[in-house]
């Protein structure tokens, strides 16, 4: 797709071989999904679980040029309320011509309820699409190397970053033939269920797999006075462990009076288990009698799932 030689973009410098490498096969097909982001399945590093998130059309403040950007997510359910994890890391993209990783260094303070780092721009999107060094056979490779971890907690836990062989994930996005499914869950007795920690919908099938909606009526541990909603892949699915679905998901709580539904759409997610939003809707707004989200203990949750591809460990 064009030829920009082996020159590295001005933003990038040479980086270490990453702890985690993510190969995206047919990168233009990812763009065709119109997804604002794509997120890996969790990977392990030094006692924590992390995810790498790619934004293919990120724009800096005041700049109309779209960039391919990366962010790091710390899996929040491994943290306690009073813990802070400071991480130093490198984002990278692989230069096939020079056989080296190029990128930039970053650091971030991760908290239970603030677990995404700031996005770092790597390369302008159009420059990547024209490159014969970073895009080979329409595929490109991204990575992250975690250099240092400090944990601030009452226990003052010390963490030594343990480097091991690079973990590899592959992302395959279909060009066509997406599998779509919709399920509507009517909860008729929310005020009775409110005392429970979480509530599961009946299972439903999309793409030969069983799924269910999980609601935390009072919010889960990562929420702030909000209703939490997730979609789980049934653990009893008969599928090879190395296979993961790549899914785009929309969750909606319907406004039964005014039609002002609350809707959130994910980017592409490598679906190993569950995905959703701890802070889906503030409980005060959800229970407001003037609204139509909760009517006589009745609420309606709708999910749209689109399976756009698959992933595996390399």
Q: How far apart are CA 274 and CA 77, in angstroms?
A: 12
Q: What digits encode the pLDDT tens for the residues 138-190?
A: 999 999 999 999 888 766 666 777 777 889 999 999 888 899 999 999 999 99
- Contact at 8 Å (CB) between 306 and 209? no
Query: How many C-beta atoms surround the C-beta of residue 293 within 10 A?
Result: 24
DSSP letter, residue 77: G
Average pLDDT, integer, range 221-227: 92
The tokens for 120 are 């770092």
Q: How many of the other CB atoms lie within 10 Å of CB of 210? A: 15
H-only helix segments in 33-156: 125-130
Please state, in angstroms and rounded to a whole number, the distance separating the CA atoms of residues 199 and 216: 6
Can you spell out the DSSP letters for 223-263? -SSEEEEEEEE-TT----TT-EEEEEEEEEE--TTT---EE
| Helix (H/G/I), strand (E/B), else coil: 188 | coil
DSSP state of 298: B
Measured distance CA(43)–CA(253) in Å, rounded = 31
Whether the model clears a pTM of 0.85, i.e. scores above it, the answer is yes
Summarize pLDDT for 36-95 with one digit per residue, the tens: 999 999 998 888 899 999 999 999 877 789 999 999 999 887 777 778 899 999 999 999
CA-CA distance, 219 to 134, in Å (whole number)?
43
Per-residue tokens: 75: 């899996």
Per-residue b or e along 51-87, where b marks 16 or more CB atoms closer than 10 Å to that residue's CB: bbbbbbebeeeeeeebbbbbbbbbebeebeeebebeb
Q: Does residue 240 have a pLDDT over 70?
A: no
The pLDDT-based confidence of 21 (bands split at 50, 70, 90) is: very high
Residue 278, pLDDT > 90, answer yes
For residue 296, name the pLDDT band (cuts at 50, 70, 90): very high
Q: Are 134 and 103 in contact (CB under 8 A)?
A: no
In this structure, are strands 179-187 and 299-313 parallel, antiparallel, or unpaired? antiparallel
Enclosing H/E stretch for 265? strand 262-271
Q: Which residue reads 């033939």 in tokens?
A: 177
Q: HSE-up of 258 (CA within 13 Å, CB side)?
A: 10
């Amino acid at each position: 797709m064009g030829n920009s030689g082996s020159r590295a973009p001005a933003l990038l410098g040479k980086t270490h071989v990453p702890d985690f490498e993510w190969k995206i096969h047919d990168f233009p097909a990812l763009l065709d999904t119109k997804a604002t982001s794509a997120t890996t399945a969790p990977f392990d590093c030094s006692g924590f679980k992390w995810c790498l998130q790619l934004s293919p059309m990120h724009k800096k403040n005041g700049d109309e040029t779209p960039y391919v950007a990366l962010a790091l997510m710390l899996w929040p359910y491994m943290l306690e309320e009073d813990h802070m994890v400071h991480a130093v890391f490198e984002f990278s993209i692989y230069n096939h011509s020079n056989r080296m990783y190029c990128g930039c260094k970053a650091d971030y303070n991760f908290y239970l309820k603030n677990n995404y780092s700031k996005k770092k721009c790597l390369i302008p999107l159009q420059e990547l699409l024209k490159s014969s060094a970073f895009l080979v056979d329409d595929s490109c490779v991204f990575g992250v190397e975690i250099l240092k971890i400090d944990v601030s907690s009452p226990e003052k836990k010390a963490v030594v970053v343990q480097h091991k062989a690079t973990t590899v994930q592959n992302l395959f996005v279909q060009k066509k033939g997406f599998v779509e499914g919709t399920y509507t869950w009517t909860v008729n007795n929310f005020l009775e269920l409110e005392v429970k920690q979480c509530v599961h919908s009946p299972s439903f099938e999309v793409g030969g797999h069983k799924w269910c909606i999980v609601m935390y009526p009072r919010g889960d541990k990562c929420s702030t006075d909000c209703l939490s909603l997730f979609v789980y892949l049934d653990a009893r699915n008969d599928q090879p462990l190395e296979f993961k679905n790549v899914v785009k998901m929309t969750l909606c709580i319907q406004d039964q009076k005014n039609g002002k539904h609350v809707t959130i759409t994910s980017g592409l997610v490598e679906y190993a288990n569950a995905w959703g939003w701890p802070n889906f809707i503030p409980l005060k707004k959800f229970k407001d009698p003037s609204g139509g989200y909760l009517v006589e203990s009745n609420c309606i949750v709708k999910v749209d799932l689109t399976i756009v591809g698959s992933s595996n460990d390399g």
